[in-house]
Structure 1
């Protein structure tokens, strides 16, 4: 696609009439400056005429010299203005010539004679990403019978669509579209999910362009054509033809184009922060900065098809993403990575060998096998390094430059619309203004006004969501009570996924390469700091030498410092609501084991955590699900509590009455459990 088509065309392929500040080598600001000079000089002339009587009485040499200087300045300004008018005319001529050339461009599909195909009436299903609603109308199309190209999953057909704004059925001015369908049978809802994905991504492309990056981006409009008169009413995706060099800039599984273009990577990073870490647009591909077929990762992994890898996909992106100048200009913050990962990012050849350019489906990334539990590695020294690094990075020395809100005009107080926003308005204009009736014009203006309101509401909603990508600032936000305490940080989940990827060797450039335990622990510690429950439990069990699901091959030295750190993590897990951690902490306070050096036996604390565990069991009693408390059923916990109340001590006041109530509950539950056992035997 030519630069004219990519930058100055509206959605329907029409030329967008915008003032050009790069033709004829002039700027509007320069014109304003010289105009003001001329105006000021004219005012001075008027003033000089008013004072002519005094000048006739006699001027001194200084006044004459000043007048001469003023005249020279005025002459230069007028000469410059004349040159500017010449440049303006040249720019206008260039612009008009570009329009005429575009109008007389040959149709690249003329030789395929699509006009000879029969006219078909289809239902067109369009998705409004702002209102989360579907719109359906009828359109007339002509489509070839055989596909002209095939991809990995879909095949493509040439298609022409009759414009809704053309009065007569004239196919001479229709535009070229590509209709796509899946080669294998899929559920009809898949087509609708694909359109929803692309239109949601398009909304984020417009939001990115609103912040005036060096290059604006756009994502092609896509909708569904339902051929209602064909057997089974088949569905097709439909979008405008993209002419030009098609490039894949990044994938949904960590691939980054070797050319390292800045805009696509900055766009992905922008969507992550601007959405408050809830989603990220990846799989950026297309012609120039006009993209198609993107993929969205959401933190919960829901919606948007099998290409949505959730937090795993976000982790894969940030492992290979290097912040560039555009990221910095937009105020985006660097995602925290280890020193080893930084060195790997600088080695582009190794990085390219570890990531795949193809789109990955959900489930494929979980095929990595966990190393054998028998191959243990002592990471005591690695943990010490990571602890010292984490403590030194507890604050953020850099200055965060937040994303600016929509720029406002100082003169009118109204928003200054970017060229991308103006192009968005033109897309709602007709292909021929003369063919639009007054009723259609009023309806179009109403739609434009409504869309502006919807866009404004969308912008207001996401203004409060922006969150930085670095751990230090995320921790500051959590301390300021912007979020709850545990298991709610998307950033923590991503760091946890990166730790697991390192453990299974996903980021090793060779099959027999050693695991990067420094990086694995770097991310797991950060995940724990951000309140990710599984990471907290992993660190607790690692220090305490207990079995775990992550970092299973790692072992640390058994000393009081490590035990104390492990117990600290276990208390955090108990605070986060993990029942197994609650019971572990309760037993430790009841027996005095594994408390470390700072804590002592406390039956009062033991009662507290036993009671929390019982409450948690009652609140989440779903039955049939494995739980760590299966070895400590409620009646045994009540028996332990009854014994402590009966004896008293270690900070707990003796209470036979409470002990009796707990004991009665214990026997009742014991009898109930015995009856269940007898029923099962029968």
Structure 2
């Protein structure tokens, strides 16, 4: 450490002289000694004063580190700016792929546009000016595609700078509501893409902005779907029926579908992923109820089809998505897909966020919840990617503002279409960076040099009440609802122990039940395979469905183990052993506790006779009376007449017999027996069984006579 610096002049040179630091210098320049609260009288030290020597000397290293970090940041910033400059340079010189079709020479049409707000669940109506080709240039399985130029609100009849769009029309006559339902589906799926992006996956995804236009000047006022024309190679990654493309196999689309299943608490799954890169269009949503989103919504059946062919990849693991339970034969069949996924180039960064489970309130308001969560997006990205401020100040942003005067400050999706006020007009981001191309029904075409745009569903802020804030804070501490049965069972046990909450029907269990049914129907058996369906896999999924509390599966498992006739998996059986009998009784008790009438009566008769009780239970008339009473007093509003098995009057009379005799844990009760005989007689009269009714009346008189004796 040095104390003095001064200059010594010689005849020709000027030298810097540095003297060592002396102890006297330290005494004269005490730094922050002693600490506050220290007794100066004890130490004898002079009062504290600031030392410029120590503050400068000790700050040199820190300043050097700050300068190094600043230089590194500046270097990264310059590299990013250079990338954006290059992108803008290439975009400015990119030719219009539709220039040769001279769409600007077509007649001008004014159309009514209908845009859907997935968050507010309402429609916004305005007018747009377009020029549409008369002939379709491509078509898919259901819709024809037409080239469209749409004039920006700020283009002032400058059709050379109008953006390219694709109008799609159903080739068959469909109800007009179908067009609007398609838009609702796609915009709801877009919210899920934003939620997926919030968890910082290696590659972000987006879904086309789509609306409905009505050409009211044409006969019949035809409707069209309107989408941006996206240039690039169109790929179908998966379908709504479990198909996975081996040609375009990628990790992100499959992980996105799996993510939506867990993130929604098994309420839905977004499938039928297709598009250009990670810009998707025409998705399908399967819901737990099977309602909404058109005929393509296959409900739990569609979820089963997806998971039968899904193999969790690195992105699934990085997002803490749990693997769906598959039988060993199914895993072996999927080894080819697993091997192909290892060759995919996408790699996780290790910064992905763990998914968390929405609360019950948030599950009933999923779109509001998603939007609130998306606004908390941190903006983390790959090293070297531009920050929000760099994007907004980039040459591309400057070009968009100068050319179209129509861009809002979008970071995730520059082309979002807001829903109210002045933002409605600014939402039409007509930047010419992407003149876009088409292939098939999707609105996309061959690969050319381009920069794809992302279109946000809406960016206008919405108020979030205090209830949502509190629920969100509580939500952070909870894990996602898993796709594996083990965690689902544990969760259901917790809900069963909570007296204030009734466990809902398990969607995951329903998915496993549908997979068992598909196996039995031969859906997963190859057409050229002469072998029958895989019974082990079908039994595996039936057992998992039963573990999740699906009543149909519980009853089936009970009847299989008890060697009883069953309607599902009719050709599957197990050896008749005491252990299997015990399992069968356990499943039958679960079914009876769950309210299955046949299971209730089975357990009543088992405790009555002492047969089929397994290894750990004994004959008990007290238990038998309990189950007989539950069977008679079921709150289903059903009337069981003589044509049905075990009508109510027979069950009542058997209860009366047990009370009359007593034993096996049940005390005699003549009065109760007489009342039950009376009820049995009345039930027999209602079932038009007069002779039985007279018999029960006589028995009731006999029992009451025994009381007097």
Q: TM-score, normalised by structure 1?
A: 0.73
Residue 123 of structure 2 corresponds to residue 109 of structure 1: no
Change (3 A) 1:487 1:514: farther
In structure 1, list runs of 5 or more residues that go unmatched: 1-46, 62-66, 353-399, 407-412, 678-682
SS of residue paired to 2:128: strand
Greater mean alpha carbon deviation, residues 328-337 or residues 592-601: 592-601
Output the CA distance in 2 between the equivalents of 1:430 and 1:92. 18
Higher helix share: 1
Query: How far 1:440 moved relative to its partner?
Result: 3.2
Per-residue CA distance 1:136-171 (angstroms, 9 max, x = gap): 22222211111111111111111122223x162322
Output the CA distance in 2 between the equivalents of 1:666 and 1:170. 88
Residue 292 of structure 2 corresponds to residue 303 of structure 1: yes
Per-residue CA distance 1:516-536 (angstroms, 9 max, x = gap): 222222211111111111110
Query: How far 1:233 moved relative to its partner?
Result: 1.8
Change (3 A) 1:644 1:444: farther
What does residue 177 of structure 1 align with?
165
Residue 428 of structure 2 corresponds to residue 466 of structure 1: no
Query: How far 1:333 moved relative to its partner?
Result: 1.0
Query: How far 1:485 moved relative to its partner?
Result: 7.1
* Pairing 1:550-589 to 2, within 5 Å after superposition: 550-589=568-607
Query: How far 1:597 moved relative to its partner?
Result: 2.5
SS of residue paired to 1:552: coil
RMSD: 4.2
Output the CA distance in 2 between the equivalents of 1:79 and 1:252. 53
Greater mean alpha carbon deviation, residues 300-309 or residues 82-91: 82-91
What does residue 210 of structure 2 align with?
222
Change (3 A) 1:520 1:351: farther
In structure 2, list runs of 5 or more residues that go unmatched: 8-15, 23-55, 342-351, 359-374, 409-420, 428-457, 692-709
Change (3 A) 1:649 1:81: closer
What does residue 373 of structure 1 align with?
none
Output the CA distance in 1 between the equivalents of 2:333 and 2:113. 48
* Pairing 1:171-570 to 2, within 5 Å after superposition: 171-258=159-246, 259-348=248-337, 402-403=354-355, 416-417=378-379, 434=405, 440=422, 448-451=459-462, 460=472, 466-481=480-495, 488-509=505-526, 510-570=528-588
* Pairing 1:57-68 to 2, within 5 Å after superposition: 58-59=19-20
- Cα pair 2:357 2:480 within 8 Å, conserved: no
* Pairing 1:571-610 to 2, within 5 Å after superposition: 571-610=589-628
Output the CA distance in 2 between the equivalents of 1:350 and 1:503. 28
Query: How far 1:592 moved relative to its partner?
Result: 1.6
Output the CA distance in 1 between the equivalents of 2:218 and 2:228. 23
1:647 to 645, 649, 661: 661
* Pairing 1:31-42 to 2, within 5 Å after superposition: none
* Pairing 1:82-93 to 2, within 5 Å after superposition: 88-89=77-78, 91-93=80-82
SS of residue paired to 1:141: strand
Output the CA distance in 1 between the equivalents of 2:571 and 2:658. 38
Choose 1 or 2 for highest CA Rg.
Answer: 2
What does residue 132 of structure 1 align with?
121
Output the CA distance in 2 between the equivalents of 1:633 and 1:102. 79
Query: How far 1:573 moved relative to its partner?
Result: 0.4
- Cα pair 2:242 2:302 within 8 Å, conserved: yes
Instruction: Report the count of equivalent residues.
Output: 563
Change (3 A) 1:273 1:585: same
Output the CA distance in 1 between the equivalents of 2:647 and 2:558. 23
Output the CA distance in 2 between the equivalents of 1:310 and 1:154. 24
Query: How far 1:58 moved relative to its partner?
Result: 2.1
Change (3 A) 1:154 1:56: same
- Cα pair 1:486 1:530 within 8 Å, conserved: no
- Cα pair 1:276 1:465 within 8 Å, conserved: no
What does residue 674 of structure 2 align with?
660
Query: How far 1:231 moved relative to its partner?
Result: 2.3
Output the CA distance in 2 between the equivalents of 1:571 and 1:336. 25
Query: How far 1:272 moved relative to its partner?
Result: 0.7
Change (3 A) 1:90 1:650: closer
What does residue 380 of structure 1 align with?
none
SS of residue paired to 2:633: helix
Greater mean alpha carbon deviation, residues 562-571 or residues 238-247: 562-571
Change (3 A) 1:592 1:160: same
